[in-house]
Amino acid sequence: MKTINKNRGSQRGTQLLELAIVLPLLLFIAAIVTEGSDFIRVHQVLNNAAREGAKFSSMPENSCQGSASCLTAVKNTVVQYAKNNGVTVNVANVAVNQKAQWVVPSGAAAGFYTSQVSVSYSYPVIYLKMAPGFNVPNTILLTGASQFRNFYGN
pLDDT digits (tens, 9 = 90+) for 19-33: 999 998 999 899 889
What is the per-residue pLDDT for 144? 97
Helices and strands of the chain, counted as H and E runs: 2, 3
pLDDT tier at 4 (50, 70, 90 boundaries)? Answer: low
144 domain-assigned: yes
DSSP state of 148: E
Residue 1 lies in a domain: no
Residue 4 covered by a domain: no
Is 8 part of a structural domain of the chain?
A: no
Does the pLDDT at position 9 exceed 60?
no
Domain that holds residue 83: 15-149
pTM: 0.81
Residue 47 to residue 144: CA distance in whole angstroms: 4
Give the model's pLDDT for residue 8: 59
Q: How far apart are CA 59 and CA 148, in angstroms?
A: 9
Sheet with 109-124, edge to edge strand ranges = 94-103, 109-124, 139-149
Residue 6's pLDDT band (cuts 50, 70, 90): low
- The verdict on residue 10 lying in a domain is no
Residue 119 predicted with pLDDT over 90? yes
Structural domains of the chain, count: 1
pLDDT at position 86 is 96
Task: Please tell me the predicted confidence (pLDDT) of residue 134.
Answer: 78
| Weakest mean pLDDT among 65-74, 75-84, 109-118 | 109-118
Q: Which pLDDT does position 73 carry in this prediction?
A: 94
Is 3 inside any structural domain?
Answer: no
* Strands (E) located in 14-103: 94-103
The length of the chain in residues reads 154
Q: Let me know if residue 68 belongs to a domain.
A: yes
